[in-house]
Amino acid sequence: MKDFQVPKRVLLGPGPSPVDDRILRALSQPLLGHLDPLFLEIMDEIQVLLRKVFETKNRLTIPISGTGSAGMEASLINVLEPGDKAVVCIHGVFGERMFDIVGRTGAEPTAVRAEWGRPVDVNQIEDALKQTRPRVLAIVHAETSTGVLQNLKGLSELANRYGALLVVDAVTSLGGHPVSVDANGIDVCYSGTQKCLACPPGLSPITFSDRAVERIRARGHKVQSWYLDMSMIEKYWGSDRSYHHTAPISMNYALLEALRIVQEEGLEARWARHELNHRAFVTGIEAMGLSMLVAPGSRLWSLNAVSIPEGVDDQKLRTHLLEHQSIEIGGGLGPLKGKVWRVGLMGAGSTRENVVLALGAIHDALKAQGYDCPSGVANAERVYDRGEQATGG
């Protein structure tokens, strides 16, 4: 048999994102038992560092053993029971997924919709809260399918006014944008390891406020999922250390190293890096005569949705990038299929080198289809020159 070999891709899609060699080395460390005293120390350090990244003091802050969708499901099924009401904000694929999960709990979801590519209007959110008086208000902070960043300010006050818990999806923002769980009054927030934390997929960091924990403990029905029942999982991650499931040991090694890297860089420096690389990329794209799907005030730094120009074949361009440059970018989903490219600049992948590489490769791939446009690389470079001077770099 041949040795198992995988080509090295430049991962500039919606996730997974590139992984630092330090994290790959951590993954290769010898296994420990999931109740080994040394592994329990690792679990403790992960919780401390996750609180810093989430910007919270919440005691119940852990990584769920599963991807971001497991975090989404855990966040909703633990605080909702049959007959409860929930307002779910939808402006892309992941809001739709939240809505589906709420319905599966036996709760009654009410949708507040926005056009894909636009944030949800806060006035419509308040109208829905007034009408339904729900148990939960759920919203996506960083909509991976569209590149929209939803403003969270004021949502906790609205939720509290109508007796609701605020549940936030931060899968594509945690570690790349300020999430500020405590400052924003978020009751439940979940993410994924494979985006701005630049770790392989497989864990979902999640945090519950004391108010959310009280809600879980006051339930009249068991949580519908045994595996994602936080009342049991917290006993494994807490002082009880009660066996619940065999944690993915190696993935927790990887997450610990990823969180240490975040800590070393500093959150504010990390956010600034993501913002600068986003600005340079957008400047380069617009210099090529292309446009962004999302208006400037609502754009994610970590996920950039570029509108595909008329006459350009989406699949051919992405195939060209993969075959000629080993670069992966994402296509559109749902109503945006064939209409946008989703270019991820996340975690270790959010670099000047990757921005310049992506802009040059997209320009070459467009030319291969007969689409004539200028290069945007020099324009992006000027953004870096100005940005570095402004920061003293």
Mark whether 158 and 224 lie in a shared domain.
Answer: yes
According to the model, what pLDDT value does residue 392 have? 42
SS3 label, residue 202: coil
Regarding whether 272 and 257 lie in a shared domain, the answer is: no
Query: Residue 135's closest CA among 81, 73, 188, 75?
Result: 81
Mean pLDDT score of the chain: 96
Distances (CA, A) of 156 to 8, 141, 142, 188, 336: 43, 13, 17, 11, 30
Are 284 and 176 in the same domain? no
The secondary structure of residue 220, as a DSSP letter, is S
For residue range 222-237, list pLDDT tens digits in order.
Answer: 999 999 999 999 999 9
Q: Where a domain ends, among 225, 249, 264?
A: 264
| Total structural domains within the chain | 2
pLDDT value at 391 more than 50: no
State the CATH number of the domain containing residue 275.
3.90.1150.10
Together in a domain, 236 and 330:
no
- pLDDT tens digits, residue range 301-345? 999 999 999 999 999 999 999 999 999 999 999 999 999 999 999
On whether both 253 and 348 belong to a single domain, the answer is no
Is residue 129 one of the residues assigned to a domain?
Answer: yes
- Give the pLDDT confidence of 134-190 residue by residue, as tens digits: 999 999 999 999 999 999 999 999 999 999 999 999 999 999 999 999 999 999 999
Asked whether residue 272 falls in the same domain as residue 162, the answer is: no
Q: What CATH number does residue 73 fall under?
A: 3.40.640.10
Residues 256 and 283 in one domain: no
Q: Is there a domain that residue 275 lies in? A: yes
pTM of the entire predicted model: 0.96
Tell me, what's the pLDDT at 381?
Answer: 97
Domain endpoint, select from 234, 249, 264: 264
Closest CA to 303 of 196, 190, 178, 200: 196
pLDDT tens digits along 269-279: 999 999 999 99
Q: State whether 236 and 341 are in the same domain.
A: no
Domain span at residue 95? 20-264
Amino acid at 246: T
End residue of a domain, out of 237, 264, 291:
264
Average pLDDT (56-67) is: 98
